Structure 1
Amino acid sequence: MKTLVIIRHSKSDWSDPHITDIERPLNKRGKRDAPFMAKLLKEKNVFPDLILTSPAERALQTVKYFVDEFNYDKSKIVVREEIYTMGSTAIRKLLSQIDDLHNTVFLFGHNPDLTSLANQLMDMFIENIPTTGIVCIDFDFNSWKEILTSKGKLRFFEYPKKYFKKK
């Protein structure tokens, strides 16, 4: 069995018009939500064998909170440009190339690609994965190559607004 944990980056800061999209950091809410969601995921006993991420600053900052919570070796983080630029089909192809020694993969990226990917990989429809949203999908196969033609089952869908109500 393989497990894919899709994690959208935390809320980003749009206040500086001089920085490019890829350089945008997390804002205050993003810095609150990321460690909270990392802890929540750990409490569900889902631990990464591999972390894949977009090179965007907001994704890398989100990853840091999860790496810290899970005591994951930072040197094993795999940063891939196609997660930022190429769309859900390219991401799915990337997933199909993962070494089968890895059973649980955390994938950090962006919308609309992550929501599209989640919907391609299961029979359930999710309208939107919000910032720091987590979609955990279990697959009944032993090789990541099968992700190209197989669908999984949703284990859980979590996001910060379930826990933090607007004031």
Structure 2
Amino acid sequence: MTVYLVRHSKAVLSHPSGDAFRPLSDEGRQRALDLARLTAARGMDPDLIVSSPYARALATAEIFTAQRPGMTPRPSSVLLPESEFQEAYEELLSWEAEGFQRVALFTHNPFVSGFCAFLAETHPRRDYTFHTPTVACLEFSGRPAPGQGHLSWILGPPASR
């Protein structure tokens, strides 16, 4: 199984209705589009896209899905900034049981950095920093398990590379 962990792109600083409603900035939309193209060229081809229901994560996911006709992001509350790793992991296993083998998860910090560390092979010097936006590709031999994901690549915005 392949899991793509995606931190949303750059959002505006605030929204009158609260944090969950912050949209992408113009710069964020362009960064997401650039990264979607770069990761597609790198072979990112998910068969399921799941997103936090927050506006900035959904908008980033929609930019990535625009290149995949017929695919729409599936919202999930297990991808919120404060989500529990075990709960998200159990949901990942349910998607795998549904037959999905290449799952892209659009989410937030601090969750995404911690979830990457939770799933990835132990690398004591590895820093799983996710700028806006960043995509990490974790590959598993068979069923995903904590600490068993091989980090194939991680790509972020040009300023963070």
Query: TM-score normalized by structure 1?
Result: 0.85
- Superposition deviation, residue 131 in structure 1: 1.1
Query: 1:12-161 to 2 correspondence within 5 Å?
Result: 12-16=11-15, 18-74=16-72, 77-84=73-80, 85-100=82-97, 101-122=99-120, 123-124=122-123, 125-141=126-142, 143=143, 147-161=144-158
Which residue in 2 is equivalent to 1:5?
4
Distance 2:159 2:150 in 1: 21
- Superposition deviation, residue 94 in structure 1: 1.3
Distance 1:72 1:92 in 2: 26
Going from structure 1 to structure 2, the CA distance change for 1:114 and 1:163 (only over 3 Å counts) comes to: closer
Distance 1:8 1:163 in 2: 13
Deviations 1:125-152 (A, max 9, x none): 32411111010011011x3xxx344511
Task: List runs of 5+ in structure 1 lacking aligned partners.
Answer: none
- Superposition deviation, residue 98 in structure 1: 1.2
- Superposition deviation, residue 66 in structure 1: 0.2
| Partner amino acid, structure 2, of 1:115 | S
Alignment RMSD (CA, Å): 1.9
- Across the two proteins, how many residue pairs are aligned to each other? 156
Query: TM-score normalized by structure 2?
Result: 0.88
Native 8 Å contact 1:9 1:62 kept in 2: yes
Distance 1:163 1:83 in 2: 23
Distance 1:35 1:57 in 2: 16
Native 8 Å contact 2:116 2:128 kept in 1: no
Tell me the secondary structure at the aligned position of residue 105 of structure 1: strand
Which stretches of structure 1, 4 residues or longer, exceed 3 Å deviation after superposition? Answer: none
Task: List runs of 5+ in structure 2 lacking aligned partners.
Answer: none
Tell me the secondary structure at the aligned position of residue 11 of structure 1: coil
Q: Percent identity?
A: 25
| Partner amino acid, structure 2, of 1:11 | K
- Superposition deviation, residue 163 in structure 1: 7.7
- Superposition deviation, residue 19 in structure 1: 2.5
Distance 2:70 2:141 in 1: 25
Native 8 Å contact 1:93 1:148 kept in 2: no
- Superposition deviation, residue 88 in structure 1: 2.4
